[in-house]
Amino acid sequence: MKNRLIAVDDDPAILELIEIALEDTNFEIISATNGKEALDLYLKDPSLVILSDLKMPEIDGKELMQKVFESGYKPVFIMLTSETDVNNVIELFKLGIHDYIIEPFNDLEYLVTFMIHILH
């Protein structure tokens, strides 16, 4: 049985990269193009992992994480971000992210290794 992962990004190219990188792993990838769509998908069928872009219109990654946690669930939450301010990253950890990946990422092997590691 595959682990379910919701990938959230408003950039379709990033979602495609995630799907390609993780297609031969033990993840069933469910893609969402915004935070509201991801929240709806999650609440209908909670996932083990959420991999979300931080900066998105309407509901951003931080707000998505807070809404998921407020619903009583605590999935592995990994943030994709171009954020380089250490204080902002520390705030995300205090709010509950498990880890983050700096964008842009071009090394698909890194993403696969990272995702496999995070679940072990």
pLDDT tens-digit profile of 59-87? 999 999 999 999 999 999 999 888 778 88
pLDDT tens-digit profile of 15-31? 998 888 888 888 899 99
CB 21 within 8 A of CB 111: yes
Q: At what angle do helices 61-70 and 86-95 cross, to 10 degrees?
A: 20
Q: In what order do the strands lie in the sheet with 3-8?
A: 27-32, 3-8, 49-53, 76-81, 99-102
Rg for the chain (alpha carbons), in Å? 13
CA-to-CA distance for 15 and 96, rounded, in angstroms?
A: 23
66: containing domain: 3-118
CATH number at residue 89: 3.40.50.2300
Count up the domains in the chain and report the number: 1
pTM: 0.88
pLDDT tens-digit profile of 33-54? 999 999 999 999 888 899 999 9
